[in-house]
């Protein structure tokens, strides 16, 4: 019963055109919208790590069709959905690659902007996130930007929600949701040669307790 109520409510608060997608949801859509605004001024080669079914890629290409855009995901089925979505919208310019974020198949210093949103929460702990960020740093040009988002462990209500997620969200039974402290994420970025230039704190008046944080960082030259 709890699971049925959750899925009904999840559908109701999702963006209508995204309902039924694996990456649908109120917060997921809000993160995409904010990340889109933070990406508006960027040009050149852009990579999204964990692109899923292409919801953000399609929005980014419609916003700026001159971008050279790549998307990476390790899930074959969802990449097929992304290809269909982009083709249906006439956005075949995006290049989609099946790969693990810890082993990106690109040469060093290839991208001007590397993005990873709505994905760290699905990774098994900080060590996995650090491996992914290390690869994102490798393929990012000196002076280039990194845009990352994470669920904030300092928000107690969010931690409680995720602790009980297995009872209402079947997708989390084998994939527990992860949260991270802002200080750990900033330190991780610093270790990989980045300086945080901008932060967005989502849906809470006190920044340190916001459930979602988006960081834009610049790679040292």
- The domain limits of the chain are 2-219
Max CA pair span of the chain: 54
Q: Is 28 left (phi over 0), alpha (psi -120 to 50) or beta?
A: alpha
Alpha carbons 49 and 174: distance in angstroms, whole number: 21
CA angle 165, 73, 61 (to 5 degrees): 105
* Confidence label for 69 from pLDDT (cuts 50, 70 and 90): very high
Q: Which two tokens stand for residue 15?
A: 């963006």
pLDDT tens for 172-186 read 666 779 999 999 999
Q: Which two tokens stand for residue 100?
A: 């693990």
Q: When comparing pLDDT for 9 and 126, which is higher?
A: 126
pLDDT tens for 128-152 read 999 999 999 999 999 999 999 999 9
Question: Residues 50-70: what's their mean pLDDT?
Answer: 95
Is a pLDDT exceeding 80 seen at residue 10? no
Is a pLDDT exceeding 60 seen at residue 162? yes
Alpha carbons 218 and 8: distance in angstroms, whole number: 40
How many other β-carbons are positioned within 10 Å of the β-carbon of residue 168? Answer: 17
* Confidence label for 38 from pLDDT (cuts 50, 70 and 90): very high
Q: Which CATH entry fits the domain spanning 2-219: 3.30.70.20, 3.30.360.10, 3.40.395.10, 3.40.50.150?
A: 3.40.50.150
Dihedral pair phi/psi, residue 75, rounded to 5°? -100, 110
pTM: 0.93
């Amino acid at each position: 019963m709890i699971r049925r109520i959750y899925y009904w409510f999840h559908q109701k608060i999702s963006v209508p055109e995204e309902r039924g997608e694996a990456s649908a949801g109120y917060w997921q859509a809000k993160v995409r919208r904010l990340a889109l605004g933070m990406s508006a001024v960027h040009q050149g080669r852009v990579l999204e790590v964990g692109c899923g079914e292409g919801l953000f890629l399609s929005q980014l290409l419609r916003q700026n069709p001159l971008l050279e855009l790549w998307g990476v995901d390790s899930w074959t089925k969802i990449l097929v959905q992304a290809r269909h979505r982009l083709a249906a919208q006439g956005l075949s310019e995006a290049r989609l690659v099946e790969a693990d974020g810890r082993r990106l198949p690109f040469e060093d210093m290839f991208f001007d902007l590397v993005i990873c949103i709505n994905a760290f929460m699905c990774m098994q702990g900080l060590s996995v996130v650090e491996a992914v960020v290390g690869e994102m740093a490798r393929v990012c040009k000196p002076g280039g930007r990194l845009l990352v988002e994470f669920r904030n462990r300092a928000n107690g209500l969010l931690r409680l929600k995720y602790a009980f997620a297995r009872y209402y969200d079947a997708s989390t039974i084998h994939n527990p949701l992860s949260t991270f402290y802002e200080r750990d994420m900033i330190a991780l970025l610093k270790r990989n040669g980045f300086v945080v230039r901008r932060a967005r704190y989502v849906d809470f008046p006190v920044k340190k307790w916001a459930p979602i944080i988006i960081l834009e960082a610049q790679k040292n030259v």
